[in-house]
Structure formats: C-alpha cells, structure tokens
Structure 1
Amino acid sequence: MKEREHVYGPIPSRRLGRSLGVSPIPGKTCNYACNYCMLGATNRMSGDRKEWFPLDDLLAEVDSFLEEGVGYDTITVCGEGEPTLYSRLDELIDGLHARQDKPVAVITNSGNMDRPEVRQALMKADIVLPSLEAADEPTWRAIHRPSPHISFPAIIEGLKAFAKDYQGQLWLEVMLLKDFNDSPDQLSAIKTLVDAIRPDRVYINTPVRPPADPTVKAPDHKTVQRAADLLGGTALDYLTDQDFDSAEEDPLQAVLTICKRHPMNRFELVHFLEERGVKDTEAFIRTLKAEDGLDTVTYCGIESYRNTRS
C-alpha cells in the first residue's frame, strides 16, 4: 500500500464509524480561523471556491484505495480545510457515489451556507454535518474569526433554507466552549436556531484535542449535559475510538501522516503502535517528538501530537 495525498484513513469517528477521509483542499486553507481548531492556526484564509486539486486526481486516489479492499463505514469529505471551498464538490460527491455504496458525508463549518451553489452541491450528500456554535454575531466572530466577506445572518438563513429542502441526514454540530457559548442565555438562543433548522440529530462536542488557541477550554460535564438536554442532542464523551489506520507501512511515517489531518493523543498513539507490533512505545514516542514539524501539546492533562509540516 502507498500513502496518498488526498485520501486518508480510515479514521475513527464517534459519529460516522470508520470514516475514509477525502481532502479536496490544501492544508489549513479555510474561510474561518476557529479558536478551537485541532489542526492549529489557519495558514491560508480564503473565501475562494475553485478546483484546488484536479477532480480526476482525487477520484483516482479513491479508486486506488478501493482496490485494496480495506473496510470502512462512510466516505467523509473534510480533511485539511473547509471542503465547500472546492468548486467541483457536487461532481466529487457524484464520483464517490458512483464508485461505492457506502454513505457520503460532508463536514462543513457552515461558512458557505449562504451560497446557493454550495447548498445545491451538499444536496447530493447522504449526511451533512454543519457547525452551529453561536446565535449572535459577536459570539460567532469571537469563536470562528471568519473571513471578512462572510455574513452571519446570511449563513443562518442559508442553513434554514438548506434544512428545509434537504432529503438526507442533517446532523448539526455544536462545539461548546467555556465562557464563549456555554451560558444559559447563549444556549437558549442556540436552541431557538436549532428549533428553526430542525436537524435530524444534534451533537454536542467539546475541544478534546489541543485547540489552535491554547486558552480555549471545555465546559464542565454538567454544563455539557445541560446543553445536550436543552438542545435535544447527544453529548459526545471524552473517550475516542482507537481504530486508526494508514496505508503507510513504516510506523513512524504512518503516525506522521495521520497526525497531519487528525491529531492523536498518547493513548491512541500507544494503541496504534501496539497494533503495528512496536514493542518499545516509549522509545518510539521519543523519536517521534524529535521530528521537525511535530508539535507536542498537553491539553486536559493528556499529551497529544500534531504534525504541522506543510
């Protein structure tokens, strides 16, 4: 097996099972610079929708993966930037459906939901997971630090319009952040929007992995559960699945590849290494930490690893 540029995993997901990732956007290219982003700071702030990589190249990598017969539950368009910035997203989704029969999901920050062509492209996905972290513009700006061209009211209206017509599964995600959007007033306002959008599911998330802004913290368990009860959602717990995979045979290169798109905490790393037959995991971790571009961050008392190399 060979490592690929745009197709990765499968990666464990608490919502989507074993998720095969497809990344159509260059690393950290986004219309937001979210304070909680697990990939670190946004390198290229962009609102441009274009064919960042040739569609044929993306689908060729999918074909290559499918030939290997590795099991997965969903194909998820997400990766290293905001996927709705890919101008041929509708054709990408069509191509994924044509090649296999598993659900195609798209994870989006909602920042392009005001664009009719984006909503039309997302209509083709089986599952769409948009974010909704705020019910007012100041809170939205504080959390997402968006590109100047984006209008918060237009995004909300776009979400409502999409939800009204969409025939697939709409799973709304709320990232709950201490002292940003976890107060009773904030949660009540978010509930009003959730009731208007009427998603099929609501997931309450918290920053489990090291965020771009190290001062960002998760609310306490009672607050998270209160939010889940109020919003009629499911609180994703602090435990993560450990079933990571990589086409790279060398354990070090495999870990570096995974951590470029999905940071691993120490427990996940050790489990992955043991599954690969690595006996001295402590020696491996020391070697890993010496790699250029590998950031080691302690968050919530747990050491995590993030590959920031371009």
Structure 2
Amino acid sequence: MSDHKCVYGPVPSRRLGESLGISPIPKKTCNYSCIYCQLGRTDRMTNRRSEFFPLQEIVDEFRTALTCGASFDAVTLVGEGEPTLYSRIGDLITEMKKYTEKPVAVITNGALLYEKSLREELSHADIVLPSLDACDERTFRTINRPWTGLTFEKCFRGLAGFSREYTGELWIETMVIDGINDDDESLHRMKDLLKEVRYSRLYINTPVRPPAEENVRPVPPETMDRAVRILGGISIDQLVSVGFFSSEKDDYNAVLGIIRRHPMNQFEIGTFLKTRGNAEAEKVLSRLNEDPAVQGEEYKGFVTYRLR
C-alpha cells in the first residue's frame, strides 16, 4: 500500500456544492503550467498517461471515506494537476459509480480530449468540466503554457469533438485574466469558438486565489460583467461555496490535508476549525506561518495558504 492519500474532503465547490475529491495523480503532475494555477507552477510536466496509484487502492480508500458519514453532493476527480493523465480514469469512474448514486464529475483542462480512448473513458462520467481559456495559439501559450507537443488547434478540436459525442453534462470554464484575454476582441473570438462546442453551462472565472505567477491579476467587476454579457455565461463569483470537511482527527493535519489540493485563506481556516470545535485558529495559523512546507501568500486582502 502507498501512503499517498487520493481521497479528500468534502470541500466546497461553487459549481458542485459539497465535493468529495479524488486526486489520482501525484502533486503538480500536469501537461499545462497555467499562469493562474492556485497550486503554483507545474514541476512534473508530462503528457504521458500512467496508473500512478493502483486503482484498487483508490477504490478502497473511497469506500472507507464513505463510512465516515460526511454528506456530499458530488464525487469529483480533480487532482493536484491533470486527472485525465491517470490511465485508468474510465475504470475509476465506473468503480465510483458502483458505490454511490451521487454524480461523478471530472474537472479537466481538456488537453487530451483529442484522444479517442480518453473520450470513451470520460463518457461514463455524469459531468465533465473542461477549461477553455484561450482563443488562439499565442494566448494558449501565454496562459496555459502547455506541454511542448500540444497545440491550441489540436486541443480545441478535441474538446469540440468530445462535446458532440458526450451525452452527460458538459460545463465549460473559462478563466478571464486582466490584460491578457479580457479585451473585446478576445471575448468575441471566444464567443465564436464556443459556437462549435455543445455545452450545458459556461462558467466565467477570474483568479481568486494566489496564482502561479505574480503578474496575474483578476479582472475588475465591470470587465466580468462585460464578459458575461458577451459570452452569455455565469460569473463564478455569483456562486456561493459552503464548508470544508476532513475525517483527519488532528486539526492541524486536517488543514494540511485540505490545502494540499485546495488552498484556504485565514477566514476559511477559522470557520473550518470552528466546525470542529476548535476556537484557537490563531494557534493553527501561527503554526502554518512557521511551517517550511507551507506557503502563506497575501492576495486580494487575504492570506491564502497552500503546500509548497
């Protein structure tokens, strides 16, 4: 048995409610190194799919998590990088569905949707949430910084093709970044591209947690309103997230387990600790500030914590 925990949460998701997360890949393993990534820069760039952790171990961990009694709205394959790099993701989805009637969702950058085999594997998921941040090759390389063999055309054609085959809920997410893809021309080009994709929902996001690169800035509210008007989507800021959960007994380790995949600010940590009967958030925050494995970063008036 490996000591890597793949199942975590539930954690709040503004799109999916309380989400029981499954991360089937090692930390920061991805075929993109997005400038806005809340986990920091990708340090394991790859486009090769692999069974990083034995499928049965993940299934057993999932079944154990179900016995903890925490309520959740969806099971989400999301990862500390790109979950579709897990070569048995189709089998994993099928196994999850044996043990829960809740929807199984996959959050993906969509880069590998050009692979026919992956499209078939994802067909078993109830909801697939791919990203589409760019409208051309230049912006694609600026924002997503993909693995060298990936092109915008290849990735977009994969997404468009998948959208025509997939019978579940396809929810697109686009990240709008100040000064990069928030101008009228970019938004109208994105609107034209989206006409080639069959989707149920479009979420428009802007960086709300400390990004991988310091010069990445969220768009102001008036720009977000303009993006919503042009693209016809839903601003993710209008969605409300709920609370965090951990079955870990020790409060500090519970916080570490969450921020490994889902950065938290000091207020979220305080609220989370209160739900566990711990009114001494300052002690935990002080310990986080002194922990060399933890990075605390001030952003948008909050200090957000994540693992280095």
Q: TM-score range by the shorter chain?
A: over 0.9
Scaled by the length of structure 2, the TM-score of the pair is 0.96
**Residue in 2 aligned with 1:174?**
174
CA separation in 1, counterparts of 2:284 and 2:97? 39
TM-score of the aligned structures, taking structure 1 as reference length: 0.96
Whole-angstrom CA distance in 1 between matches of 2:90 and 2:79 = 17
Q: CA deviation at 1:113?
A: 1.4
| Aligned residue runs from structure 1 range 272-283, under 5 A | 272-283=272-283
Aligned partner letter, 1:133: D
Aligned-pair CA distance for 1:292: 2.0
Question: What's the counterpart of residue 64 of structure 1?
Answer: 64
Counterpart Cα distance in 1 of 2:226 and 2:199: 19
Identity of aligned residues (%): 45
How far apart, in 2, do the equivalents of 1:107 and 1:97 lie? 17
In structure 2, distance between residues paired with 1:119 and 1:180: 30
Residue 227 of structure 2: aligned partner: 227
Give 1:123's aligned residue: 123
Opposite residue 194 of structure 1, the aligned amino acid is L
Letter in 2 for 1:160: A
Contact 1:31 1:47 in 2 (8 A): yes
| 1:170 CA displacement | 0.4
State the alpha-carbon separation in 1 of the partners of residues 136 and 208 from structure 2: 24
The residue aligned with 1:251 is: 251
Quick check: 149-158 or 12-21, which moved more? 149-158
Residue equivalent to 2:304:
304
**Contact 2:114-2:154 within 8 A present in 1 as well:** yes
Q: Which amino acid aligns with 1:105?
A: A
Change (3 A) 1:301 1:240: farther
Stretches of structure 1 lacking an aligned partner (at least 5 in a row): none
Question: Aligned equivalents of 1:28 and 1:248: distance in 2?
Answer: 23
Which residue is 1:207 aligned to? Answer: 207
Assess if the C-alpha contact under 8 Å between 1:242 and 1:271 holds in 2: no
Counterparts of 1:74-223 in structure 2, within 5 Å, are: 74-223=74-223
Structure 2: runs of 5+ lacking an equivalent: none
**Shift of residue 287, structure 1, vs aligned partner:** 1.6
Amino acid at match of 1:43: D
Q: Which runs of 4+ in 1 moved over 3 A?
A: none
Instruction: Say what the alpha-carbon RMSD is for the aligned residues.
Output: 1.3
Tell me the CA shift for residue 69 of structure 1: 2.4
Which residue identity is paired with 1:246? S
Instruction: Please say if 1:265 is aligned against 2:265.
Output: yes
Offset at residue 239 of structure 1 (A): 7.5
May I ask how many residue pairs the two structures share in their alignment? 306
